Structure 1
Amino acid sequence: MAKSSNIEMITGDPKKAIVKLALPMMLSMLLIMLYNIADSIWVAGLGADALAAVGFITPLFMVLVGLGNGIGAGANSLIARYIGAGNRDQANNAGLHGILLAIIVSVIFTIIIEVFMVPILQMMGAGSTIQYAMDYSYIIFGFLFVFVYSGVASAIFRSEGDMRRATIAIAVTAIMNIILDPIFIYVLNFGISGAAWATVFSAILSCLVMSYWIWGKKDLYLDLTLKNFKYSTKMIIDNLQVAIPSTLESLVFSILAIIINSMLVMAADTTAVAVYTASMRIVQLAMIPLIGLGTAVLTVAGVAYGARNYQNLKTSHSYAIKLGFAISIALG
């Protein structure tokens, strides 16, 4: 069965496993970047202020999505370690704790963001774009759970080496967003709110697909039914030990983007933010291979660590570093 071959793959040759895991991840991230570019193109048709508004919201949104991805990375690491150790029950429990954390974090930050959105935007220097930014942000952050859960669910598939379905889920989001953007923005005349609704509906569809695979089809290695949930504070802490550093990385980049946006507003106006937002969509393409490798090595190294196979652990890290360095040189 497919699930057996996935487990065999991540517990086998670490070099082959990293390549097999990284390539689909790179493809899915490429699709996400392409839909971000398409999103910018459609929003730009509404004017520079609309595109700048998205530019103001994006860093904050990426911090919170990064938190979801961080929780997913924590779940990925824990599940992979338990799979490597042959402890399926604990692997199931780790996956369920990841989903629990996604719920808790989403509720807390949705309330905070929805209440303090206006002063946050004012502090960021949104200026004349603030109404656009509010129209966009209230919708996006109102459905924050969808994006956080998506990051965790994708990580659950990756943790057992099922990159095919993890990639399909992301592809569904990207393709549907590209299709829905012009419909919601222009055909239905929702404007910038349409861009937000297109993103939300695309993510919801992806989440429904992943939820069906997890709880409907039930053909994963993991069994994430509630009967397998046993609350563990240690498991929460273990997840956060991976999630927090991962989130801090997103936070650093987002703070940098906020600072740059503020400087652009002071030096020019919100049009400069719009130009910067559009150009950064292209620059981010170069990061795809390295992020794909990093995601792949998280699973492979986790399995090796859980199995106490320190040779595979060492090989996975060294191979990923060498391959990442080679790709960086090739990209210039």
Structure 2
Amino acid sequence: MESNANLDSITGDPKKAINKLAYPLMASMLLIMLNNIIDGAWVAGLGPEPLAAIGFITPLFMILVGVGNGVGAGANSLISRYIGAKDRKGANNAAIHSIFVAILVAVVLTLILTVFLRDLLIIMGASSVIDYAMEYGIILFMFTFAILLPPSFGGIFRAEGDIKRATIPMATTAIINIIIDPIFIYTLGMGIGGAAIATVIASLIGLFLMIYWMFIKKDTYFEFKLEYYKRKLQMYKDILIVSIPASLEEFIMALVAIIMNLYIEIIAGTTMVAVFTAGWRIISIGILPAIAVGTAAITVAGIAYGAKNIENLRIGARYSVKLGLILSIIVSVIIFVFADQISLMFAYSANSSTLAPMIAEFLRIMVLYILPVPVGATAAFVFQGMGKGPTSLVITLIRELILCVLFAYLLGFVLNLGVLGIYIGLIVGSAIGSIIGYVYLEFYIKKTFKYRIKAN
């Protein structure tokens, strides 16, 4: 298979490959999350109710981003395995198949989210802020394609080692949104709807960059032409067998956030939902290093598995855990030390000033949630890289939807510890589930290694 500098850098030493892929991903993800936080911070100036409304929209938005990431993971996994097997034509064909999958999914989700948005929000418990939530959400989800396609296309670029083109559009989107948010919200007086319009405009610009590189400039490693498309149902199946579970994993994460919103609404009311919404955005930044390293591991694991190099697979998995854990500890310490200052981002106006001490308290407790994430995330992402999407889904299902939700309920309601019990339950459930997932990954790699030796 023809090679280039990008491919050479990700098909050799798995540690170097993870470093090459992870750090730019981390930077772009950080900008995206900062964008999300600043979106919430500007809306917080409108009062607790608009901020709580965004809290109810956020899980749906994250489902949308998660589906895009899921399609990207499916593309990344399949293309990487073809690259590992040194089959460029197969990899190119898989990339084109991935584009068709992403477009189809975007159309379907646009219809679902715009038609059933009010019903979904009411089910989620957003009745008290339904007008704010609808104003924000309907604008956002009318342009589903602008949000879903960039992370889907990013998986293709990551598979060929072109990390710059995978991350620059996302970073550009975040920076533009950060700049124009206050203009639409306050200068133009559009309120919470202005925040949604700013997000859509920024997302469209990021998407155009990718379309320009792929279909106009045409200087990517893969060639996106119909003449190179050879329809294979097996390819669609291979993409979806990773994409669907990976998307469902994001759905599970969003569903857990929805359930936590409901738990907190029942126990403490809308104000504490706003606290959770604001604080969770900061915690989401804290887990970014682990997620970025894990996402890099998809490519490395796919290449190693496609090349039948089980030792590189093991090295990549263990290095991902080590690197992710080191970075997570650093971030956790920073959040803990500066919790008071960080909380002021959401409490700078008279409408929201009372939230600051509660957000700071939330942050100092929930930094413990960040620490086990590298262990569980690595397990899930490495299985995705190997094309074992259902296994990855089961790991996330056990960790988040079963253990986190169960422990949060037991501690919050059964033991009557209230909101504090919910926070502790999330931490305990995540830690136990992450350990279970990684132990199984090590067992699977060891089993596969022994099988390879026996086969040879």
For 1:82 and 1:159, the matched residues in 2 are separated by 10
The equivalent residue for 1:302 is 302
So what's the TM-score if we normalise by structure 1?
0.95
The equivalent residue for 2:399 is none
Deviates more, 1:6-15 or 1:89-98: 89-98
Deviation sequence 1:32-51 (CA, Å, 0-9, x none) = 11111111111111221111
Query: Could you tell me whether the CA contact under 8 Å between 1:146 and 1:207 is conserved in 2?
Result: yes
Deviation at 1:254, TM superposition (A): 1.1
For 2:200 and 2:73, the matched residues in 1 are separated by 22
Are 2:227 and 1:227 aligned? Answer: yes
The equivalent residue for 1:314 is 314
The equivalent residue for 1:159 is 159
Deviation at 1:291, TM superposition (A): 0.5
The equivalent residue for 1:86 is 86
Deviation at 1:320, TM superposition (A): 1.6
For 1:174 and 1:56, the matched residues in 2 are separated by 21
The residue correspondences of 1:176-187 to structure 2 (distance < 5 A) are 176-187=176-187
For 2:326 and 2:46, the matched residues in 1 are separated by 41
Sequence identity percentage: 53
For 1:188 and 1:329, the matched residues in 2 are separated by 41
Are 2:168 and 1:168 aligned? Answer: yes
The equivalent residue for 2:206 is 206
Q: CA RMSD in A?
A: 1.6
For 1:275 and 1:326, the matched residues in 2 are separated by 28
For 2:161 and 2:285, the matched residues in 1 are separated by 24
The residue correspondences of 1:1-332 to structure 2 (distance < 5 A) are 4-329=4-329, 331=332
Tell me which amino acid in the other structure corresponds to 1:322.
K
Deviation at 1:109, TM superposition (A): 1.8
For 1:320 and 1:268, the matched residues in 2 are separated by 39
Rg comparison, structure with higher value: 2
Deviation at 1:100, TM superposition (A): 1.0
Return 5+ residue gaps in structure 1 as ranges. none
Deviation sequence 1:175-213 (CA, Å, 0-9, x none) = 000011011111122111111111111111000011111
Q: Structure with the greater relative contact order (CA < 8 A, sep ≥ 6): 1 or 2?
A: 1
For 1:94 and 1:146, the matched residues in 2 are separated by 22
**Count of residue correspondences:** 330
For 1:28 and 1:323, the matched residues in 2 are separated by 18
Deviates more, 1:112-121 or 1:262-271: 262-271
Deviation sequence 1:10-32 (CA, Å, 0-9, x none) = 11111111111111111111111
For 1:257 and 1:308, the matched residues in 2 are separated by 38
SS at match of 2:209: helix
Query: Could you tell me whether the CA contact under 8 Å between 1:50 and 1:133 is conserved in 2?
Result: yes
Tell me which amino acid in the other structure corresponds to 1:122.
I
Deviates more, 1:181-190 or 1:267-276: 267-276
Tell me which amino acid in the other structure corresponds to 2:187.
V
Query: Could you tell me whether the CA contact under 8 Å between 1:129 and 1:270 is conserved in 2?
Result: no
SS at match of 1:219: coil
